[in-house]
């Protein structure tokens, strides 16, 4: 992989730095969507997506849109208006499922964690015991808090209650294991039914594609519904195209699919387990380095995400000045959302981010703190990072 075309270090929760191979595919000739060269790329992209999610007895869908469309596709193709879902929310993006449900007349209940924590498992069990839910949604990494969901515990609880398990992988796919064949708690019935994601985070392709994997039970849920309140988002429209990308439903984003195919080749060349291990190590190393500056992550380390960290400012650090200082040096991090706005920043360390890039970022963060009169031992922080990346 080469990366010569990015001027900024894009260390936000996504989009993330893009490789030259992907830029080249994006800037390549726009083929007819019926051109055999394009069809071959689409087939290859779909096959690699299937592999990434280990989606063996289901179907993957890659269409033009963003992660939010993928969320909508997951819901409207499994749950009818009037039916009920349970949203397990670890932050802002969990809550988005509630808004989608409302827009489609789907009943929705939610269990929300305090920001930076997990939802309470006893509360989840009690809710599932008292009410029938068609589906339960879980955000794998909530981008607002940097918390990674505890799938080992949640999947068995949800599946034991007979609901479909829908996983939002927007800030996790290609960086944290998402395996639709995995039998949680060693029970063959306890599997993830739907995974949805977008192209722009750990897959490291520009924004523009909605990616959804439906397992057999989720496909059966769609098949059992005659019509649904959707047209472009209706899987029935897309199924023939995903089986044979030479078929037409709506013009595919030809260059984006070509770019996605190039990006997925890089993901597969690295290997999924190597990629998951790299992200786990990187997340820990970044947070340990920043701790040397007295900066803490919102989430406790055991539940902190490999892909993104929400870092609390030490007292007296001004968010706007901090981020402008970094932006002037070509490093972009994101502010925080809702009640955390101004109190924390969000640092993406996923996809194509390299140890060299992150080392530089840690130095710049030290300098940004110093510029506000704070003590920051840059050498200690970079040494910690280097040590943990060994």
Can you give the binding site for ligand PMP, defined by CB under 6 A? 13-14, 66-68, 71, 93, 139, 142-143, 168, 170-171, 198, 207
CB of 240 to ligand PMP, least distance (A): 26
Question: What whole-number distance in Å separates Cα of residue 81 and Cα of residue 88?
Answer: 19
| Min dist. Cβ of residue 344 to ligand PMP (A) | 16
Of 313, 279, 311, whose CA–CA distance to 140 is shortest? 279
Tokens at 236, concatenated: 């029935």
Q: Which is nearer to ligand PMP, 174 or 376 (CB)?
A: 174
Cis amide leading into 201 (omega within 30): no
Q: Which is nearer to ligand PMP, 87 or 363 (CB)?
A: 87
Closer by beta carbon to ligand PMP, 96 or else 134? 96
Instruction: State how far the Cα of 381 lies from the Cα of 371, in Å rounded to an integer.
Output: 17
8 A C-beta contact, residue 97 and residue 85 = yes
Alpha-carbon distance values, 341 to 12, 282, 311, 346 (Å): 15, 25, 11, 10
Q: Could you tell me the smallest distance in angstroms from the CB atom of residue 198 to ligand PMP?
A: 4
Nearer to ligand PMP, 211 or 369 (CB): 211
Q: Which residue has the tokens 């990674």?
A: 148
- 68 versus 107: smaller Cβ distance to ligand PMP: 68
CB of 207 to ligand PMP, least distance (A): 6
**207 or 335: CB nearest ligand PMP:** 207
Exposure string over 181-201, b if 16+ CB within 10 A, otherwise e: eeebeeeeebbbbbbbbbbbb
Residue with nearest beta carbon to ligand PMP: 67
Q: Of 13 and 252, which has the nearer Cβ to ligand PMP? A: 13
Cα(105)–Cα(134) distance, integer angstroms: 14
* E strand intervals along 188-244: 194-198, 209-214
Pairwise CA distance, residues 244 & 241, whole Å = 5
């Amino acid at each position: 992989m080469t990366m010569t075309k990015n001027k900024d270090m894009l260390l936000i929760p996504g989009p993330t730095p893009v490789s030259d191979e992907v830029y080249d595919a994006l800037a390549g000739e726009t083929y007819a969507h019926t051109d055999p060269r394009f069809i071959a790329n689409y087939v290859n992209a779909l096959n690699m997506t299937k592999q990434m999610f280990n989606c063996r007895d289901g179907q993957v869908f890659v269409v033009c849109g963003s992660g939010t469309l993928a969320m909508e596709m997951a819901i409207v193709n499994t749950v009818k208006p009037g039916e009920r879902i349970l949203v397990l929310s670890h932050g802002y993006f969990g809550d988005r499922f509630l808004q989608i449900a409302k827009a489609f007349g789907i009943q929705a209940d939610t269990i929300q964690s305090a920001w930076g924590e997990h939802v309470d498992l006893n509360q989840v069990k009690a809710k599932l015991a008292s009410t029938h839910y068609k589906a339960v949604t879980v955000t794998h990494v909530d981008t607002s808090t940097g918390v990674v969901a505890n799938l080992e515990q949640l999947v068995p609880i949800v599946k034991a209650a007979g609901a479909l398990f829908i996983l939002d992988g927007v800030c996790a796919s290609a960086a944290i294991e998402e395996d639709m064949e995995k039998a949680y708690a060693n029970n063959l019935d306890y599997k993830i039914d739907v995974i949805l994601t977008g192209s722009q985070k750990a897959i490291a392709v520009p924004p523009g594609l909605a990616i959804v994997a439906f397992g057999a039970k989720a496909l059966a849920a769609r098949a059992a519904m005659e019509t649904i309140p959707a047209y472009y988002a209706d899987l029935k429209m897309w199924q023939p195209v995903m089986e044979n990308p030479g078929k037409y439903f709506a013009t595919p984003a030809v260059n984006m699919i070509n770019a996605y195919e190039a990006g997925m080749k890089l993901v597969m060349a690295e290997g999924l387990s190597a990629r998951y291990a790299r992200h786990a190590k990187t997340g820990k190393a970044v947070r340990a380095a920043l701790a040397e500056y007295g900066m803490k992550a919102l989430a406790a380390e055991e539940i902190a995400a490999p892909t993104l960290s929400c870092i609390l400012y030490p007292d007296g650090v001004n968010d706007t000045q901090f981020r402008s200082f970094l932006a002037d040096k070509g490093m972009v991090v994101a502010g925080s959302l809702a009640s955390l706005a101004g109190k924390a920043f969000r640092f993406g360390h996923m996809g194509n981010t390299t140890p060299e890039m992150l080392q530089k970022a840690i130095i710049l963060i030290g300098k940004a703190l110093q510029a506000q009169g704070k003590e920051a031992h840059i050498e200690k922080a970079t040494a910690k990072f280097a040590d943990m990346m060994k």
